[in-house]
Amino acid sequence: MPTKPAPATDLVPDAAPDAAEKRSTVRALLRLWPYVRPVRARLGTAAVIAILASCVGLVIPLVLKWMVDGPVADGDPAGVWLGALYLLLLGLAEALLFGVRRWLVARPLAGVEAGMRADLYRRLQRLPVAFHDRWASGQLLSRGTTDLMLLRMFLAFPLTFLLVNGVTILVGVGIMLVQDWTLGLVILGPAIPVMITCGIFEKKYSAVARRAQDQVGDLTTVVEESVLGIRIVKGFGRHRSQARAFHELSHTLRGTELRKARLLAAIWAVIVTLPEVAIGAALVVGAVQVADGALSAGTLVAFLSTALALRWPVESIGFLLAMSQEAATATDRYFEVMDAEVEADPAAGGRAAGAMGVPPLERSRERGRVDDGGTSQAVRAPGEAPSSEQRPLPEVSANAGRPQGLRFEHVRFRYPDAAPDSTPLLTDVDLHIRPGESMALVGATGSGKTTLTALVPRLHEVTEGRITLDGEDITALSREELRSMVAVAFEEPTLFSATVGENVLMGAGEGADDEALDRALAVAQADFAHALPQGTGTQVGEQGLSLSGGQRQRLALARAVVGRPRFLVLDDPLSALDVHTEAAVEAALRQVLADTTALIVAHRPSTVLLADRVALLSEGRIAAVGTHHELLRTSPEYAHLMSGSDGHEGDEGPQEGDGR
């Protein structure tokens, strides 16, 4: 079975480090609009309320001015108390408004996050196997967790507060300029250096944020692999080297996080220091003006209170920008997955797509040739093909649905990530499996057997040629149709964290009952399931690891046969079974396979026995087709493979007249 590329360094196939530097933060964040749109009214109201709350805060210095120049200067205690009451009410109003804002955004933003997560999950389900082959699972996991959390936080705080703080700063500066424009200009002095610093910071931070988020994905992958592969890690005593690999990655991440912290510290230093210096300078200039009698003490108090009230809005810009950068990076990472091309479901127009560059006319002619020695029930192309390419395929339309078995016609396949000039793994596969027939597929290791079987349920798309099920091009069938016709079981049986029964019934349509479950378990010799603590209601652990390899394989086999599929694709599904159990499964399977067309990858003669005929896959094509004994006689390669596979060919080889 194919494995994923090695983890660790760069597990994001399309991640372009430079892209983070080039892309625009705003443009990246604008892609969130479709998700934000439904809650825009609430977010807008919340922003207006936050602006209101901030402006209420800015009224406080004006009340102070009134108190200092009025009741305090006049020695009027009642006026001072009244002023204190105003201040208290303003403070309460500000707190209340901020509370309402938070209440307004909390629920809808949790909904936005959940919606985005659901979309991502749906997308991942629809993305082709080739995508999942390329992407490390930790990278996908971190997009669905950390990145979405960053986005929710961005929508809750920076999105609103960059606006609120911007308005607050403008209003505050306006108030200060009205109070005393010379002092206002002193306060405004650092504005330009602060803006330049923000620009530089944004660019640098966005690159580091991208790196950090990708590294979190790498780390997640390593953790996931270590947990899933814990038996190997322990069995080979690799925990130290695994820990070392993890430590190295987390050390790298720590370095990136420290770089982020240093950048934040730098902008923070500039954003805090320059305004503080300006406030100090304004205090000195203002005090001189008060001493000269050019300014009232109340105005200076109001001015400085306003300046101090603006400290937080200005200082927070640093981390608001940082959070926005992280959110933009998270958006990029999210849409890298969402933009990946999903499997086209060509129920509409698929017939044409299935041509793969071969005109329908030629395909129908060729189909007459694709016969395995004239022994099959191959349907000949009609003498004269229809004149128009628009007309439906004559053969297909005439015989579609009638049992014609499974056909591979000039199938050529190259993995999408293979070098374009490399020889395709499958160069020209022609094979016809008759209706109700079971065909074993034999070939040297790495010859492409698993790959060929994966083409039938369209886990990978053929590069050229086509595959038909009962005359229907598989690319013309909707995925649902196709997968209701074909059931698969792989050598590596994957079970889900669910009950045994649920795992098996996953292979059946809606409404499958306990009878179907029991029948499938019986066929797969998986009756052990009834003896589990809660019978078929027993929960299997993550990936079914609480069961033995053979038990998992039998459950996977039961899942494949439970829906009584018309076509069955089995990739060496009995490899983990002992000879006796395998023989029992074979006997039961024969009953099931009697009306099922099956392709079975086999390594052992004992598995080959299950099949009516055998096809030898060699150098990207079907080199020979025949019964086991015919091939033993006529194909040295086959004889070699069978004799070398378990060394018991002589013991287990089928006998002539064994009923096949």
Residues at the interface with ligand ATP (CB under 6 A): 1-2, 133, 415, 417-418, 425, 443, 445-451
Dihedral in degrees, nearest 10, Cα atoms 91, 93, 96, 101: -110
To the nearest whole angstrom, how small is the minimum distance from the Cβ of residue 572 to ligand ATP? 7
Phi, psi dihedrals of residue 251, rounded to the nearest 5°: -65, -40
Which residue do the tokens 């920008």 mark? 321
Name the residue nearer to ligand ATP (CB basis): 347 or 425: 425
Of the candidates 535, 573, 541, 537, the residue with the CA atom closest to the CA atom of residue 556: 573
Is 173:184 a contact under the CB 8 Å cutoff? yes
CB of 556 to ligand ATP, least distance (A): 16
Q: Smallest distance, Å, CB 417 to ligand ATP?
A: 5
Minimum distance between the CB of residue 440 and ligand ATP, rounded to whole angstroms?
13
Of 471, 426, 464, residue with least CA distance to 597: 471
Torsion of CA 412, 418, 420, 423, to 10 degrees: -50
Q: What's the rounded Cα separation, in Å, for the pair 450 and 445? A: 10
DSSP assigned state of 625: E
Residue type for position 308:
L
Contact, 334 vs 139, CB < 8 A? Answer: no
| 369 C-beta neighbours (distance < 10 Å), count | 12
Q: Spell 625-637 as b/e; 16+ CB within 10 A means b.
A: bbbbeebbeebeb
Q: Between 56 and 124, whose beta carbon lies closer to ligand ATP?
A: 124
- Closest CB 602 distance from ligand ATP, rounded Å: 10
Compare residues 319 and 415 and give the one whose CB is closer to ligand ATP. 415
* Cβ atoms within 10 Å, residue 230: 13
The type of residue at 289 is Q
Among residues 183 and 455, whose Cβ is nearest to ligand ATP? Answer: 455
Which of 525, 513, 587 minimizes the C-alpha distance to 557? 525
Task: In angstroms, give the least distance from the CB of 547 to ligand ATP.
Answer: 22
CB of 158 to ligand ATP, least distance (A): 40
Question: In the complex, what is the shortest distance from the CB of residue 648 to ligand ATP, in angstroms, rounded to a whole number?
Answer: 18
Residue number with the shortest CB distance to ligand ATP? 2
Nearest approach, Cβ of 3 to ligand ATP (angstroms)? Answer: 8
Joined together, the tokens standing for residue 438 give 């079971």
Q: Are 490 and 507 in contact (CB under 8 A)?
A: no
- Indicate the residue among 2 and 509 with the shorter CB distance to ligand ATP: 2
Measured in whole angstroms, the distance separating CA 576 from the mean position of its chain's CA atoms is 31
Q: Which is nearer to ligand ATP, 443 or 457 (CB)?
A: 443
Q: Is the CB of 391 or the CB of 640 nearer to ligand ATP?
A: 640
Q: For residue 296, what are its two tokens? A: 């009232």
Cβ-based nearer residue to ligand ATP, 323 or 441:
441
Q: How far is CA 413 from the centre of its chain?
A: 25
Whole-angstrom distance, CA of residue 304 vs CA of residue 284: 11
Q: What's the min distance (Å) between Cβ of 422 and ligand ATP? A: 10
**Closest to ligand ATP by CB, 363 or 458:** 458
Q: Please say which residue, 390 or 445, places its beta carbon nearer to ligand ATP.
A: 445
Selection from 351, 424, 416 nearest residue 389 by Cα:
351
